[in-house]
Structure 1
Amino acid sequence: MAGIIGHVLPIALGIAFSTVPIVVMILILLSPRGRIASLTYLIGAAIGLIALTTVLTLLASLLPAPHLSGSSPWIAAVEIVAGLGLLAIAAVRLVRARRHRGEPPRSTPAWMRRVSSVGPVPAFGVGLVLMLRPKNLLLTVAAGVAIGPVARDPLDAIVGIVVYVVLGLSTLAAPIIVAYANPGRTRVPLERAHAWLEANSALVSTIVLLVVGVVILGSGLTHV
């Protein structure tokens, strides 16, 4: 079980520091119905990530378990592809950042601005859909491979999934907890956080993708 958690932790950080869901959470919290809509948004995100992780873990459990030496061609292939996919996404973002260097920061996309006026039900759908983006799919494929083939029993798999989901969604849950604990003092910090992320989200996301992509790629190479 400790080995599963150790493999899952860095992958979950890729989910946790995905800037788009965080920005959306902040915009929802700043909206008139932010407190209730943020809860349904988090519930939708949790359901989406739990479902995705469970399905991919079940599929990965069909792969042969690693040999005593740690080698596993199937696991190696999946992790190498996932790692290279994440590095490719990071490379595309670096190229885009270089093209727009020196330009004023781009404003929040129109679809994000509309999020600030959605109610609880649409917020649930937004949270669900954002967990199914290609980057999350690659990360969760790697998480499923880290859990499924090596889990000795269902409890190991469940613990691995729970750790992955809880850590992955911790950055969405934290603003909600703060907003409910001290609603009168959260607006200014949230607005500052949104302004900072609007200016730096591409850099943060790219660094996280590079680091996690290298970790997953390195894990795949150890299974060759």
Structure 2
Amino acid sequence: MGKALGDVLGLAAGVAVSPLPIVALILVLATPRGRLNGPLFALAWVVGLALLGGIMLAIGGAGGASSHKEPAPWVGVLKVVLGALLALFGARQWRRRPRDPAQAQLPKWMAAIDRFTPLKILGLGLALSAANLKNAPLTIAAGASISSAGIPVPQQIGVLAVFVIIASLGVLAPLGVYLCMGERAKSVLSTWRDWAVLHNVAVMAVLFFVLGLKLLGDGIGVLVA
């Protein structure tokens, strides 16, 4: 179980550092229904990661590990493919980043967040966790790593739970500040939002590239073992 935890901690940290979802949650908290919609967004985020990871555990099943409790070849192939895609996308993002951070812009849909219904907020949280170009591959890779560890199902679920908790820290932090600090949270969250907006593309590009190389290396290690 310890090895499985070690394999997914870095992936979880990569998911946790997600500037765009953090900005989205801060904008949600700034709306008149922020006290309701903020927790709904965080809940949807957690559920999205848990569902995607759980699906990978179910797909991996007994076939995730070989007879020697080593990762099956398909796990290595999956990591190589995901790693290569992430690294290539990271390089592409870096080339297209704004030369002047002040020129960074938020997606147009964020301007309408104050009009989102609770149902749309749930959908947004699910999309930004389970359908995100960075988070989905990392969560899939984490699920594959857990299923290939050769540990009992209860332990697999426990490792996945740890992954989801750590991967959610970035989103839960603004919510915690909002709920604990009240009015004083506005200035803190505003500072976080401005920093994330300015550096979102650069941060994401670096994370894509570094985590892609990590997955690529892990996958090659599985295939040549």
Using the size of structure 2 for normalisation, the TM-score is 0.91
Partner secondary structure for residue 21 of structure 2: helix
- For residue 106 of structure 2, what is the aligned residue in structure 1? 108
Q: Trace 1:1-80 onto structure 2 (pairs within 5 A).
A: 1-66=1-66, 68=68, 70=70, 72-80=72-80
Label 1:151 to 1:170 Cα distance change in 2 as closer, same or farther (>3 A): farther
- For residue 186 of structure 2, what is the aligned residue in structure 1? 187
Q: CA deviation at 1:20?
A: 1.5
Partner secondary structure for residue 101 of structure 1: coil
CA offsets 1:37-89 (integer angstroms, 9 cap, x no match): 10011111111111111001211225351465957422211111111111111
Counterpart of 1:134 in structure 2: which amino acid?
L
Distance 1:52 1:25 in 2: 21
Identity over aligned residues, as a percent? 27
Larger deviation, residues 71-80 vs 145-154: 71-80
Counterpart of 2:43 in structure 1: which amino acid?
I
Distance 2:148 2:71 in 1: 12
Larger deviation, residues 157-166 vs 101-110: 101-110
CA offsets 1:112-142 (integer angstroms, 9 cap, x no match): 1211332433211110122222332211221
Label 1:47 to 1:69 Cα distance change in 2 as closer, same or farther (>3 A): closer
Partner secondary structure for residue 86 of structure 1: helix
Q: Trace 1:74-223 onto structure 2 (pairs within 5 A).
A: 74-97=74-97, 100-102=98-100, 104-131=102-129, 132-223=131-222
Larger deviation, residues 207-216 vs 47-56: 207-216
Distance 1:70 1:56 in 2: 17
**Any gaps of 5 or more consecutive residues in structure 2?**
none
Paired positions, count: 222
CA offsets 1:170-207 (integer angstroms, 9 cap, x no match): 11111111111111210011111111111101111112
Q: CA deviation at 1:23?
A: 1.0
Q: How large is the RMSD of aligned CA atoms in angstroms? A: 1.9
Q: CA deviation at 1:103?
A: 7.5
CA offsets 1:139-163 (integer angstroms, 9 cap, x no match): 1221111111224211111012101
Q: CA deviation at 1:25?
A: 0.7
Label 1:153 to 1:105 Cα distance change in 2 as closer, same or farther (>3 A): same
Counterpart of 1:73 in structure 2: which amino acid?
P
Contact 2:63 2:72 in 1 (8 A): no
Distance 2:47 2:178 in 1: 22
**Any gaps of 5 or more consecutive residues in structure 1?**
none
Distance 1:30 1:207 in 2: 29
Counterpart of 2:31 in structure 1: which amino acid?
S
Distance 1:151 1:4 in 2: 9
Counterpart of 1:127 in structure 2: which amino acid?
G
Distance 1:184 1:140 in 2: 35
Partner secondary structure for residue 105 of structure 2: coil
